[in-house]
Amino acid sequence: MSETTDATAPPRAAHALPLDINAIERLLPHRYPFLLVDRVATHQPRRRITAIKNVTANEPFFAGHFPGHPIMPGVLVLEALAQAGALMIMLEVEDPARHLIFFTGIDQARFRRPVVPGDQLRLEVEVLAWRSSHGRMSGRAYVEDRLAAEAVLSCHVVQRPEKE
């Protein structure tokens, strides 16, 4: 990413939207059961991204959260927002396979409604500030047009360690 969120800087190579799960897996290291983004619907370089998470009854966390009354853990809704933000950044990083994104903070997290099997989460993440390899983003998760969760996320882009 650039030193700032300067909109005049040319974006990296264009990516055809929507991004499917195969493209997402090329950008993020997460895999089942922890990959929580199914599709990228929109992307404005250095500005915002909209991604989708389809919540199914087959999610492994529903077995224990809560039997007979399944609710997606709020922390996983925040993780889905973080992964959407990571995708926005990785779409801009030169050679994403050589980088990782660590989330360094979550502020102002609020949970507005439960997320249940059958819901489709619309994950909207917008850059608040970006300097060098550190950034802050605002994330909101919606079910239909109802806000389910929101938070301010901080992150740091690092070089992936070399494999031996």
Q: Give dist(CA 76, CA 70) in Å, integer.
A: 13
As given in the structure block, the two tokens for residue 16 are 């055809």
Work out the burial of residue 161: count CB atoms within 10 Å of its CB; fewer than 13 is exposed, 13-18 middle, 19 or more buried: exposed
Torsion of CA 95, 96, 102, 106, to 10 degrees: 120
Catalytic machinery residues = 65
Q: For residue 125, what are the β-bridge partners? A: 49, 139
Q: For residue 102, what are the β-bridge partners? A: 156
